[in-house]
Structures are given as structure tokens and as C-alpha cells.
Amino acid sequence: MTANRLAESLLALSQQEELADLPKDYLLSESEDEGDNDGERKHQKLLEAISSLDGKNRRKLAERSEASLKVSEFNVSSEGSGEKLVLADLLEPVKTSSSLATVKKQLSRVKSKKTVELPLNKEEIERIHREVAFNKTAQVLSKWDPVVLKNRQAEQLVFPLEKEEPAIAPIEHVLSGWKARTPLEQEIFNLLHKNKQPVTDPLLTPVEKASLRAMSLEEAKMRRAELQRARALQSYYEAKARREKKIKSKKYHKVVKKGKAKKALKEFEQLRKVNPAAALEELEKIEKARMMERMSLKHQNSGKWAKSKAIMAKYDLEARQAMQEQLSKNKELTQKLQVASESEEEEGGTEVEELLVPHVVNEVQMNVDGPNPWMFRSCTSDTKEAATQEDPEQLPELEAHGVSESEGEERPMAEEEILLREFEERRSLRKRSELSQDAEPAGSQETIDSGSQEVLSELRVLSQKLKENHQSRKQKASSEGTIPQVQREEPAPEEEEPLLLQRPERVQTLEELEELGKEECFQNKELPRPVLEEQQSERTPNNRPDAPKEKKKKEQMIDLQNLLTTQSPSVKSLAVPTIEELEDEEERNHRQMIKEAFAGDDVIRDFLKEKREAVEASKPKDVDLTLPGWGEWGGVGLKPSAKKRRRFLIKAPEGPPRKDKNLPNVIISEKRNIHAAAHQVQVLPYPFTHHRQFERTIQTPIGSTWNTQRAFQKLTTPKVVTKPGHIIKPIKAEDVGYQSSSRSDLPVIQRNPKRITTRHNKEEKL
């Protein structure tokens, strides 16, 4: 019986993992039934024997294949035994007979089986049972863990748990069933429909939807601000443009135009640096424009305007100038061909060529040196230098075709041009001086010496020019730059001519120049003017001490330089013994650190101080009850009289002696109030982990005196709410969202009535 039960329950538990724990031969305990089975088999055999007595029944017997399964102890079936067994079959080797193969297999299996182990005793089996069942039950119960935990931690539990769902129809349904009856209602509905107000579906109107889809408020605000700014800027620009357009001064417009041109060039330069291909294109464009201009045969003094100007030129200076300007423009336009031819004529020509060849090519050459921009700069300056060196040689040639017209040409290069030139020159000067300084240690004096004379003379010229420039600037400052002053500069057009040729290159370093200009100005302010002049003129000579002419000045210069750079030697002197210095510093640092670490380490004194403070603090304070102005004059600056103060000062009684009075090394705090202590919580209550937490909960008021109504309600919600008169049923699986088991709780046996009867029979037997 138990075995059957066991089998049943095991079937039921087949999905359980716990089965794995069972002993392996557990299944074999089926053989418990063997005793019964044995008897049955004997009975069967007997029956067979009896039936076999009768010849007719034999065939029938052979058909009974099903029962034989039951009969065989070792599960040997009589499969294939339907055929008649002939003696010859048995005599022959077994292999050949296919029908007996299965039997043989089974026989071999039987042979391989060992003896059956003893079945477990009943108690043990039951124990195993119980364990399995318990584990299963525990697993079933574990599904309640989260529910229980949630309920235990819940802020509020409202019983009964199952809520009667109030049948609330959605508003759409209510509305769809409702119709406008009165005229007023109809009117309202008409209005609503007209405005596309959703009536049945409480959603958004199309407009609202669109607005929601469009953007958020902040985005809209930002965008609005942006637009406003853009509009304002546009209006400013427009106003500015209008203003500028109104300006009638031709000069102004000229300057502007030039500025624009420069800017364009600058941009082009930048583009060249950044994107050579685009720059090339740009260049081509420029070239094309130039060609177009040239083709158009403008600036030939053949137009109507030019003719009229030509007539006026005799008497009017300005007209003449204008004509000349146009001519110069024409020349500029037509220059290219000439220059090209010139370069071919020239001996070395490389430098000049460099100037004329598109800069892209130049750049490539320069980039050979390396990508370093500084290197690049120096290269360009070098070339410039070379150019300046060559200048004197070029001069006569240029004069041959240029100077004749140059008088007119120079004028448009107004003040700014002059300034630019000035910067350029200065820069070149400085560069050269530096170079020469650099060159000095290398011992390349001779190379410089070879061309020194030339350079010298040139430099002299340059310095002279500079002087002039400065003077002119001074004048400019005194009285606004006028044409006559500019004209005064004309004596040195020869020097300026080559610089003109360099134009693109110069513009390339415009930014630099600006910076330089600033620097120079700074210097100018610092140094007295004569010194500046001298310095500039002498920087180069001071490289060559053997130059006799400059010696005096050089000495002077050194003095001056000393004056200027007094700091530098001192710095060097500091820099030389750096290592020792560092060691010293380290030591000092170490000492400092230690000092800092133990800075406040005067423990004893600190403690004494602390104690003194504690004593002071614990002393009862005097009470001053004087009322200024009471019974006497009062006011700002008037103090109550000493007598009065004495009278109204209540002296605090001397407290009991401190407990630590005679203990110099101890501070005993006497703050604790015994009377208050009786009302205070002595031990930190359970759920709190820190006294701060507890204090904070106590300090937070929950009453409606300190809280808003809503907060008060929230703070005072009871933990468990029950409704009077409502029956609270035990929690159900459905209440918490679990599926209640559809399975009946009835015992397994109950579902198998046959078993029950046997069971009860057995019980009754008991």
C-alpha cells in the first residue's frame, strides 16, 4: 500500500528537484510487492497448466501477450514468441533467429542485474516523503514573502484588503449617452463644435496638440530671444550701413575699400594656409578678375570722366591726382606681364620669382623645413631680408620704368601704408640683429663681413628713414595728418619701392605686425626718443666690435642696455647655483612641514586653557538690570552712572566648588542637569541607529500648529485603518495579484476513489 502511495506521490513530485536527493535504488522498492506478485504468478501457472491439459485452448494461450509482461519478474517479454517454436530453431545458433534476438537481449540484461538491495524501512520512507513534501510546501509559501514584507513595511494598511470596485463608467461613455436638449445646451455644444473642442473624448484640441507638438515653453523662449537678438543685430547693421553710405568723404571710402581689399587678402592668406586647393581657386578667380579688368580697358584715361579730368588737370591738383591714380591702377593691372619678363631678364631671379610665384608653391618649399610655424616665419623673414638686401641693386631698374610715375603712385599709400612699412622695417631690423647675434657664436662673422658694407649703408638709410617716420608721426600727432606732410615723405621713395613689391608677403604677417607695432609703441614710450634712435641704429653695429665708427655709440649703448637689462644678470646668478639652492629649500620645507604638523602641539597649555574656559563658562553670570535713561538723562553716548549700575547689578551667587577644582589634569563637566535627566531618554530606542536620527524625529513637529493641513494629515495617518462593521477576511492570493490555485485542496487519494476504498479497508483491518 505504502509503495503505491509512494509511487503516486512521486509522480506528483516528479518535477521536484528534491528527487535527486533520493537514493538511486529507490525505484526498486517496487519489488516490495513481489510477495503478492509471486503468489499470483503461481496461481497463473497453475491455471496455465490446467488449461494446457485441454488441447483446444493452447492456441489461445499463445495469444495472451499482455499478461506475460506482468508475469515476468525481470521484465522479460514474450515478444516474438507468437511464432511457433520449433526444436530445430533451438538447435541452430541463436544468432540466425531474429525472433529470439530480443529475448536473448533481455536475458543478457537479466544476467547483468545484481541482486536487489533491501528496501528502506517504512519510517525512513515516510521521512523522505515528509521532507519532500515540506520542501515543496516551503516553496509554495515563499511566494508570500514579498507580500508579507510589503505589508509589514507599509505606511498604512487599510482593511478590509479587497476593495469593492466602484463601477465608474469612463467619461466618454457617459458623454456619448448624453444629448443636448435645452436650447442653451445646444448653443453651447454648437460653440464647442465650432471651436473644435473635443466633446466626447477628453483629449486636446487640435490647436493644443499642435502647440504641444511644436516645442516646449523654454525652447520657445530661447528661440524667441535668439530671433530678437538677430533682428536687433540686423537693424544695427542696417543702420550702420546706411550711415556709412551717407558719408560723402571720398577718402573715407577709399580707406574702407582698401581695408576691404586687405581683409580679402588676409582671408585669402588664411585660406591658403588652411586649404591650399581652395586658395588656388581663389587665386585663379582673382587673376581672372584682374584679367577682366584689364580687358575692359578701363583706367586707360580714355573714358569720358578721364578726359574731363585731363582737361582739369592743368589747374586742379586733385584732378591731377585722380588721373595719376587711375594711371597707377592701370599700371598695376598691366604689370604682370612686365614683371614676368623682368624676372627672366634677372640674373639669379629666384628671390624675385619667389615673390611672384603663387604662394602655394612657396609654402610647399617652406614646409620642407618642417611644420613648425616659427621656422616658417624665420624663413619668410630671411627671404625678406634677402629681398631688402637686393633692393639697392634693383632700384635703378625699377626707377627706369616706375619712378617716372611713382610720384603719383606713392600718394595713395597714405599714412597707414607708411605705418605698415615702418613696422616692417623695424621688424626686419630686429630680425637681422637677432640673426647676427645668433650667428656670432657660430663664428660666421666673415660671411656677414663680406656683405657688411652694403648692409651697413642700407641700414643707415633705413635708420634715417625711421627717424623721419617718427618725426612725421610726431607731426601727425600735433596736427592731423594732411597731404603736405605726406608729401614731405616723398624724398625716400626709392626705399619704399621694393617694399611695395613685397606686398603680399607683408600682408601675410599683418597680425604679427600689429603686435609688433604695439611692442614698438611700448618701447617708444619707455625709452627716451634719442635712445630709441640710437638703439635702433646701433643694434646691428654692436655685433661687430671692430667697426670703429660706431664704437663710441656702442659703449653708450651697452650702458643703456645694462640699464635696461640689469635684472637679467642677477637672474642668471640665481640660476647658476640652482642645485644647492634646491637642497636648502628641501630641508627648509621639511622643517616647515614638521613645524606645521606639530604647530599646535603645546598640549598642556591647551588643556589648561580649555579648562579655564570651561570653568569660566560654568560660572554663573551676573545680571545687569540697569535701564539707561531711567531716572536720569539718556541718549547717545550717555552711560548710566556708576552708582546706578552698581545698584542694579545683581551679583550671581558663588556656585558650589567645582569637582575638578583640585584635579589639575581633569575637566569634569557639570552641565548635566539631574532634574532634566529624569525626563530625558537615556537609551537610544530600537529602530534608531544614531542619536541624531532620534533627535531629528523628535524635533520635527507633527501638529497642525506647525504644519499645513495637508502635511498634518499626512503626518498623522494611522498605520492600520479598519472600518467598523466590516468583516476582514484572511488575505487571499487574488488580493495581492497571485493566481489562486485552481487545484482542490482535497487529498490526492480523494481524487482516486479506488485507492480510498482499499485504504479504508486496510484501516478497518487495522
Partner 1 sequence: MQWPPPWRRSPLVSATPPPGPTTGLLRPRRVSEAGDSSTEGARTGHSHYVTPAESAMERRSQPFPSLRPASPTNAPAHGRGSDCTAKEPPLANVCRQNYGAAQDPVEPAGRRSASHVTGSSLGKAEVACGRRWRWAELVANSSWSPAGRATEMKVKMLSRNPDNYVRETKLDLQRVPRNYDPALHPFEVPREYVRALNATKLERVFAKPFLASLDGHRDGVNCLAKHPENLATVLSGACDGEVRIWNLTQRNCIRTIQAHEGFVRGICTRFCGTSFFTVGDDKTVKQWKMDGPGYGDEEEPLHTILGKTVYTGIDHHWKEAVFATCGQQVDIWDEQRTNPICSMTWGFDSISSVKFNPIETFLLGSCASDRNIVLYDMRQATPLKKVILDMRTNTICWNPMEAFIFTAANEDYNLYTFDMRALDTPVMVHMDHVSAVLDVDYSPTGKEFVSASFDKSIRIFPVDKSRSREVYHTKRMQHVICVKWTSDSKYIMCGSDEMNIRLWKANASEKLGVLTSREKAAKDYNQKLKEKFQHYPHIKRIARHRHLPKSIYSQIQEQRIMKEARRRKEVNRIKHSKPGSVPIVSEKKKHVVAVVK
Q: How far is the CB of 148 from partner 1 (least distance, A)?
A: 5
Per-residue binder mask for partner 1 (CB under 8 A), 409-448, x = binder: ----------------------------------------
Name the segment binding partner 1 (CB under 8 A); options: 193-201, 377-385, 431-439, 737-745.
737-745
**Hey, which residues does 157 pair with through a beta bridge?**
720
Instruction: Tell me which residues in 241-270 interact with partner 1 (CB under 8 A).
Output: none
The answer to whether 732 and 740 have CB atoms below 8 angstroms apart is: yes
Three-state DSSP string of 509-566: CHHHHHHHHHHHHHHHHHCCHHHHHHHHHHHCHHHCCCCCCCHHHHHHHHHHHHHHCC
Question: Cβ of residue 164: shortest distance to partner 1, in angstroms?
Answer: 16
Is 131 a binder of partner 1 (CB under 8 A)?
yes
- How far apart (Å, rounded) are the C-alpha atoms in residues 40 and 73? 12
Among the listed ranges 23-31, 78-86, 133-141, 324-332, the one in contact with partner 1 (CB under 8 A) is 133-141
The three cell numbers of residue 447 are 660671411
115 vs 680, which CB is nearer to partner 1?
680
Nearer to partner 1, 160 or 517 (CB): 160
Q: Is 157 in the site for partner 1 (CB under 8 A)?
A: yes
- Would you count residue 140 as binding partner 1 (CB under 8 A)? yes
Q: Report the distance separating Cα 12 and Cα 748, nearest Å.
A: 9
Helix (H) or strand (E) holding 364: helix 359-367
638, 750, 758, 762: which one binds partner 1 (CB under 8 A) = 750
Nearest one of 564, 562, 554, 507 to 534, comparing CA atoms: 554
Amino acid making up residue 731: I
Q: Is 35 exposed, middle or buried (0-12, 13-18, 19+ CB in 10 A)?
A: exposed
Does 129 engage in binding with partner 1 (CB under 8 A)? yes
Residues 6 or more apart whose CB falls under 8 angstroms from that of 575 comprise none
For the CB of residue 157, give the shortest distance to partner 1 in the complex, in Å: 7
228 is a contact residue toward partner 1 (CB under 8 A)? no
- What's at 400, amino acid-wise? A
Q: Measured from the CB of residue 63, what is the shortest distance to partner 1 in angstroms?
A: 41
- Residue 336 phi, psi (nearest 5): -55, -50
The H or E element that residue 721 is part of is strand 720-722
User: 116, 114, 115, 94: which is closest to 105 by C-alpha?
Assistant: 94
CA 614, CA 141: separation in Å to the nearest integer? 63
Give me 721's grid cell: 485603518
- By C-beta, is 139 or 334 nearer to partner 1? 139
Per rule CB under 8 A, is residue 121 in the interface with partner 1?
no
Closest distance to partner 1 from the beta carbon of 708 (Å): 7
Q: How far apart are CA 496 and CA 464, in angstroms?
A: 13
Q: Is there binding between residue 720 and partner 1 (CB under 8 A)?
A: yes
Amino acid at 421: R
C-alpha cell at 766: 487495522
CB under 8 A: which stretch of 300-308, 606-614, 618-626, 718-726 binds partner 1?
718-726
DSSP one-letter code for 158: E
What is the spatial distance between Cα 377 and Cα 513, in angstroms, rounded to a whole number?
Answer: 12
In the complex with partner 1, the residue whose CB is nearer, 374 or 686, is: 686
| Residue 159 engages partner 1 in binding (rule: CB under 8 A) | yes
DSSP state of 689: S
Q: How many binding residues for partner 1 (CB under 8 A)?
A: 68
Between residues 140 and 608, which has the closer beta carbon with respect to partner 1? 140
Options 251, 692, 726, 765; binder of partner 1; rule CB under 8 A: 726
Among 45, 70, 104, 127, binds partner 1 (CB under 8 A): 127
Q: Which stretch binds partner 1 (CB under 8 A): 219-227, 383-391, 492-500, 724-732?
A: 724-732
Using the contact rule CB under 8 A, the part of the chain among 138-146, 566-574, 580-588, 636-644 near partner 1 is 138-146
Whole-angstrom distance, CA of residue 720 vs CA of residue 735? 17
- Nearest approach in angstroms of CB 728 to partner 1 is 4
Is 67 near partner 1 (CB under 8 A)? no
Beta-carbon contacts of residue 557 (< 8 Å; ≥ 6 apart): 534, 535, 538, 542
Any residues with CB less than 8 A from the CB of 153 and at least 6 apart, and which?
A: none
Nearest approach, Cβ of residue 189 and partner 1 (Å): 17
Report the alpha-carbon angle 359-365-369, nearest 5: 130
- Choose between 252 and 706: whose C-beta lies nearer to partner 1: 706
Selected binder of partner 1 within 177, 653, 657, 724 (CB under 8 A): 724
Rounded to the nearest whole angstrom, what is the least distance from the CB of residue 160 to partner 1 in the complex? 8
Choose which of 111, 368, 727, 737 interacts with partner 1 (CB under 8 A): 727
Build a one-symbol-per-residue string for 673-712: x at contacts with partner 1 by CB under 8 A, - elsewhere.
Answer: -----xxxxx--x-----------xxx-xxxxxxxx---x
45 versus 762: smaller Cβ distance to partner 1: 762
User: Which residue lies nearer to partner 1 by CB, 145 or 446?
Assistant: 145
Reference 164, options 726, 749, 547, 764; nearest CA is 726
Q: What are the phi and psi torsion angles at 522 (to 5°)?
A: -55, -50
User: Is residue 26 near partner 1 by the rule CB under 8 A?
Assistant: no
Is 762 a binding residue for partner 1 by CB under 8 A? The answer is no
**In this complex, which beta carbon is closest to partner 1, that of residue 144 or of residue 376?**
144
Nearer to partner 1, 108 or 744 (CB): 744
Quick check: 716 binds partner 1 (CB under 8 A)?
Answer: yes
Given the complex with partner 1, which of 131 and 555 has the nearer CB atom?
Answer: 131
Contact with partner 1 (CB under 8 A): which of 109, 224, 732, 762? 732
Q: Write each residue from 632 to 671 as x if it is in contact with partner 1 (CB under 8 A), else as -, in one continuous string.
A: ----------------------------------------
| Least distance in angstroms from the C-beta of 620 to partner 1 | 24
Nearer to partner 1, 639 or 732 (CB): 732
Q: Site for partner 1 (CB under 8 A): which residue of 151, 200, 350, 437?
A: 151
- By beta-carbon proximity to partner 1, the closer residue of 662 and 717 is 717
* C-alpha distances in Å from residue 527, one per residue of 28, 114, 429, 553, 558: 118, 120, 18, 16, 14
* H-helix segments, 100-216: 101-112, 122-141, 145-153, 171-176, 183-194, 206-214
730 lies in the binding site for partner 1 (CB under 8 A): yes
Q: Report residue 283: phi and psi, to 5°.
A: -60, -45
> Is the Cβ of residue 154 or residue 317 nearer to partner 1 in the bound state?
154
Q: Is 148 in the site for partner 1 (CB under 8 A)?
A: yes
763 contributes a contact to partner 1 by CB under 8 A:
yes
Q: How many angstroms separate the CA atoms of 715 and 709, rounded? A: 10
Q: Rounded to an integer, what distance in angstroms lies between the CA atom of residue 189 and that of residue 175?
A: 12
Q: How far is the CB of 765 from partner 1 (least distance, A)?
A: 14
Instruction: Output the 3-class SS for 106-139.
Output: HHHHHHHCCCCCCCCCHHHHHHHHHHHHHHHHHH
Unique residue bearing C-alpha cell 519478474: 73
Half-sphere exposure of 277 (CA within 13 A, CB side): 0
Question: For residue 688, is it left (φ>0), alpha (ψ between -120 and 50) or beta?
Answer: beta
Q: Does 475 bind partner 1 (CB under 8 A)?
A: no
Residue 26: CB minimum distance to partner 1, A: 16
Residues near partner 1, by CB under 8 A: 9, 12, 126-127, 129-131, 133-134, 136-138, 140-142, 144, 148, 151, 157, 159, 678-682, 685, 697-699, 701-708, 712-713, 715-718, 720, 722-733, 743-750, 756, 759-760, 763
